[in-house]
Amino acid sequence: MVAPILSDLLTEILIPVCAVIGILFSFLQWYLVSLVKVTPEPPQSSKKNGGYNETLIEEEEGLNDQNVVIKCAEIQNAISEGATSFLYTEYQYVGIFMVAFAILIFLFLGSVESFSTKSQPCTYNKDQSCKPALATAIFSTVSFVLGAVTSVISGFLGMKIATYANARTTLEARKGVGKAFITAFRSGAVMGFLLAANGLLVLFIVINLFKIYYGDDWEGLFESITGYGLGGSSMALFGRVGGGIYTKAADVGADLVGKVERNIPEDDPRNPAVIADNVGDNVGDIAGMGSDLFGSYAEASCAALVVASISSFGINHEFTAMLYPLLISSMGILVCLITTLFATDIFEIKAVDQIEPALKKQLIISTALMTVGIALVSWLALPPSFTIFNFGSQKVVKNWELFFCVAIGLWAGLVIGFVTEYYTSNAYSPVQDVADSCRTGAATNVIFGLALGYKSVIIPIFAIAVSIFVSFSLAAMYGIAVAALGMLSTIATGLAIDAYGPISDNAGGIAEMAGMSHRIRERTDALDAAGNTTAAIGKGFAIGSAALVSLALFGAFVSRASISTVDVLTPKVFIGLIVGAMLPYWFSAMTMKSVGSAALKMVEEVRRQFNEIPGLMEGTAKPDYATCVKISTDASLKEMIPPGALVMLTPLIVGTFFGVETLSGVLAGSLVSGVQIAISASNTGGAWDNAKKYIEAGVSEHARSLGPKGSDPHKAAVIGDTIGDPLKDTSGPSLNILIKLMAVESLVFAPFFARHGGLLFKIF
C-alpha cells in the first residue's frame, strides 16, 4: 500500500493546532462582545476610538438615558442567575445518573470474560491476541465519563455566553440593526468554536492516552473510544428534554394568559412568566442544543473510527489515514473561521431585510469552502487505494470515493437546511398560507400547520436516502459514517447560526422589559424572526446527521455483534422492528404531556397573580417572577427522568432478554420512524411560530389584513404557536438524540449482548 502524503508526525501536530486555533478564535469573539458595556457611562457617548467616531445613530431613542442601561443589566442578571441555578440543579441529577451508568458499563463489559485479565483472541482476527475484555470495560467507562463531562461543559459554556450577550445585543440595537446582528452572531460563534474545538481536542487526547496502553491493539482501542459518544449523547438527552420542558412550560404559560387572555405584548414586564420564558431560551435552545450537536459529532467520529480500526487503516496501523475523521473536523474549524469573518467583518448589514440572506450566505460559503477542504484532506491524508470493512469482507476503495462520501453528506445537509428554511420562513408561501388560515380560527391554523410539517419531510428524506445509497455504494458503512461527519464538518458555523436565534429572542425580551422604544423592539424582532428560521435549519441539520450517524453506528453494532444479515422476515427481528418504530411515539407522548402538565401549572399561577396582585395590570405593582421560575424548574427536573429512562433502558432490556437480532430490529424501526416525526414536529412548530410573527410584523399588505396584534387571526396564530412550542423545542429535537443514543449504547454493550444476550429465547 502507498503511504499518504501527510506524515503521522504532521497529523499529530495539525489536529491539536487547529483545535487550539478554534478555542483562541472563540476567545477573540468573546473579547469583542465584551467591549459592549452594560454599565452606565458618562454622558459623552460620542467618543473617539482609534480615529473612529462611534456616534449613536438615532438620538431620539433615549440613548443617553442611563436608566435603560441599568434596567438591561438588572434583567440580564436575573436571566443569568435563573439559567445558572437551573443548570447546576440539573447537572446534580445528571451527575448521579452518570456515575450509576458508568458503573453499569464497567459491570456489563467486564462480565463478558468474567473480569479476566488475560489476553483474548481479537474479534475480527482470531489469529491475533488483543487486550482483555476487562481493559475494554475500564477504558469504555473512562471515555464515557469524559464524553459526558465534555458535553455538560459545552452546554454550560454556551448558556454563559448567551446570557452574557443578550443585553449587549439589546443595547447595540440602539445604534442600528447591523451592530446588534454582529454582537448576537459573534456570541453564537463563541459557542460554536468552543464546542467544535473542545470536542476535537478531547477526543484526540483520549485516543493518544489510550494508545499508550493498547499499543498495536487498535481494534480494542477504538472499541473503547465509543464510550465517548455514549457519554456525550446521554447528557444531551437530559439537557434537551429537561431544558425543552422548562422553556416551553414558561413560554406556553406566558403566551396563553398574557397575549390571548390579557392582550398584553410578548415579554411585557407585567407578565409573571416572562423571566422564566427568557431563562428557558438559554437552558433549552442553547445548553440543550450545544450538548446535542456535540453528541452527534462525537458519535459520528466514533462510528467512523470503529469501522476504520477493522479496515486496512487499523490492520496496517496507518495513523494518519485512521484519523481522517478528525482531520475533516480540523479542516472544518479553519473553514468556519474564514466563513465567520464574512458575517462579522466583510459584509455589513444595514437593513432588516439583509439579516436572513447574511445567515444563509454563511451556510453556502462554509459548504463551498468545506468541499475544497475535504478534497485537500482526502488527497493528503489517505493512500490512493485501501480496503474498508464491509460485513465480514474487505472492500477496495479509492481516496476520491471517500471524498464523494463526505461531500455528499455536506451538500445533503445544505439541501435539508434550505428545504427547512422554505417551509419555516415567513418569506415563502407555505408559512404565509398557514398565517392566512388563521382568518377562520385556530382549528384551520392547526390543520394547515400539521399538513405543512408532514409535507416538509419528503425532500429531506430523499436527500438522506440518496446520501446513504451513494456513500454505502462507495465505501460501505465507513462511507455513511464520514457522510455524517461531512454534514457536521461545519458545526462551528451551524452552531453560531443556531445560538444566534435564542440570543436575539432574549434581546427582544430585554428591550420590552426595559421599556425601550418600539423601533428597538422592531429591530430585535427582525433579528429574532431570522433566528427562528435558522434555528429550524439547525434542527434540520441535527436530525439529518442523526439519521446518518445512527445508521453508521447500527452498521458497527451489527458487525461487532457478529450478525451476518438482519432478516426482516425473521420473527425475532420483525417484533423488534415494530416495537422500535413505536418508541418515538411513546417518547413524544411523554415529553408533550410533560410540557402540557407544567404549562397547566404555569397558566394557573400567572392567572392567579393577575387576579390577586392589585395594580399588576396597571404596572404599579411587580409580579412574583420567582414562583414561575420554580414551577418550570421543578417540572422539568421531575419530568425529564421517565423519557430519559425509556431511551437508556430499552437497548439494555432488549439486548439482555431478547438478543442482538431483536435489538437490531428495534434500532432500525426507531431510526426509520424517529427521523420522520422529528422533521415533521420541528417544521410544524417553526411554521406556526413564524406565521404568528408574520402577522405581528405586518410588513406586507396581506399580513396587515390579518393583524394587528390582538385581532382574532392573531389570537388564532398565538394558539397555533403555543401548540407548536413543545413540538419544535422539546419532542422534535429530542427525537434525534433518541435514535442515535440507542444505537451508540447498543454498540458499546455489543460484546455483552453477543455473549450473554437473548436470555428469554435461551430459556424457552
**What pLDDT does 147 receive?**
93
Nearest to 680, CA basis, from 311, 424, 481: 424
Nearest to 739, CA basis, from 672, 661, 657, 694: 672
**Long-range Cβ contact pairs of 53-62 (< 8 A, separation 24 or more):** 54/175, 56/174, 56/175, 57/174, 57/175, 57/176, 58/174, 58/519, 61/174, 61/516, 61/517, 61/519, 61/520, 62/516, 62/517
Q: pLDDT per residue over 715-738, tens digit each?
A: 999 999 989 988 988 898 889 889
* 54 has pLDDT over 50: no
Higher model confidence: residue 751 or residue 38? Answer: 751
What nine digits make up the cell of 409?
A: 453528506
**What pLDDT does 1 receive?**
55
Instruction: Write the single-letter amino acid at 35.
Output: L
On whether the CB atoms of residues 291 and 155 are closer than 8 A, the answer is yes
On whether the CB atoms of residues 485 and 199 are closer than 8 A, the answer is no
For range 738-746, the mean pLDDT: 92
**Alpha-carbon distance 323 to 662, whole Å?**
33
On whether the CB atoms of residues 572 and 565 are closer than 8 A, the answer is no
Quick one: CA dihedral 246, 250, 253, 259, positive or negative? negative
**Alpha-carbon distance 744 to 226, whole Å?**
7
Question: Residue 54 in 3-state DSSP?
Answer: strand
Number of helices and strands (H, E) in the chain?
26, 6
On whether the CB atoms of residues 607 and 272 are closer than 8 A, the answer is no
**What pLDDT does 486 receive?**
92
**Alpha-carbon distance 436 to 726, whole Å?**
23
**Alpha-carbon distance 172 to 318, whole Å?**
51
Confidence of residue 264 (pLDDT cuts 50, 70, 90): confident
Q: pLDDT per residue over 543-572, tens digit each?
A: 888 899 899 899 889 888 878 788 888 999
Question: Residue 6 in 3-state DSSP?
Answer: coil
Confidence of residue 55 (pLDDT cuts 50, 70, 90): very low
**What pLDDT does 47 receive?**
40
On whether the CB atoms of residues 515 and 270 are closer than 8 A, the answer is no
Across the chain, mean pLDDT equals 88
Confidence of residue 339 (pLDDT cuts 50, 70, 90): very high
Instruction: Write the single-letter amino acid at 395.
Output: K
> Percent helix, strand, coil in the chain (nearest 5)?
80, 5, 15
Rounded (10°) angle between helices 177-214 and 289-309: 40
* 50 has pLDDT over 50: no
Percentage of the chain beyond pLDDT 90 is: 47
**What pLDDT does 719 receive?**
92
* 79 has pLDDT over 50: yes
Partners of residue 396 on adjacent β-strands: 387
**What pLDDT does 46 receive?**
40
Distances (CA, A) of 2 to 6, 91, 316, 318: 12, 49, 11, 11
* 354 has pLDDT over 80: yes
| H-run or E-run covering 50 | none
Q: pLDDT per residue over 85-134, tens digit each?
A: 989 998 998 999 999 999 999 999 998 887 888 888 777 777 777 888 88
Q: How many C-beta atoms surround the C-beta of residue 464 within 10 A? A: 25
Q: pLDDT per residue over 505-555, tens digit each?
A: 889 889 888 888 888 888 888 888 787 777 777 778 888 888 998 998 998
Residue 708 preceded by cis peptide, ω within 30: yes
Distances (CA, A) of 58 to 48, 69, 127, 168, 177: 18, 16, 78, 17, 12
In the chain, domain spans: 8-37+63-763
Nearest to 524, CA basis, from 536, 499, 506: 506
Torsion angles phi and psi, residue 187, rounded to 5: -65, -40
* 443 has pLDDT over 80: yes
**What pLDDT does 64 receive?**
57
* 197 has pLDDT over 50: yes
**What pLDDT does 68 receive?**
85
Which letter, b or e, does each residue of 98-128 get, where b requires 16 or more Cβ atoms within 10 Å of its Cβ?
A: beebbeebbebbbbbbeeeeeebebbbeeee
On whether the CB atoms of residues 314 and 222 are closer than 8 A, the answer is yes
Q: Which of 297-306, 537-546, 620-629 has the lowest mean pLDDT?
A: 537-546
On whether the CB atoms of residues 685 and 732 are closer than 8 A, the answer is yes
Distances (CA, A) of 539 to 33, 344, 386, 413, 532: 26, 23, 35, 11, 11
| H-run or E-run covering 493 | helix 491-513
Maximum CA pair distance of the chain?
85
**What pLDDT does 565 receive?**
80
Distances (CA, A) of 204 to 485, 552, 728, 741: 16, 21, 34, 22
For range 414-420, the mean pLDDT: 89
**Alpha-carbon distance 346 to 355, whole Å?**
14
On whether the CB atoms of residues 90 and 637 are closer than 8 A, the answer is yes
| H-run or E-run covering 130 | strand 129-130
Q: pLDDT per residue over 5-49, tens digit each?
A: 888 899 999 999 999 999 999 999 999 999 988 877 655 444 433
Grid look-up 392547526 returns 446
Q: pLDDT per residue over 307-321, tens digit each?
A: 898 888 888 888 999
Q: What is the pTM of this model?
A: 0.89
Confidence of residue 262 (pLDDT cuts 50, 70, 90): confident
Q: pLDDT per residue over 140-165, tens digit each?
A: 999 999 999 999 988 888 889 999 99
DSSP assignment letter at 427: T
Q: How many C-beta atoms surround the C-beta of residue 13 within 10 A? A: 11
**What pLDDT does 608 receive?**
92
Quick one: CA dihedral 596, 599, 603, 604, positive or negative? positive
52-54 and 47-49 beta bridge pairing:
antiparallel
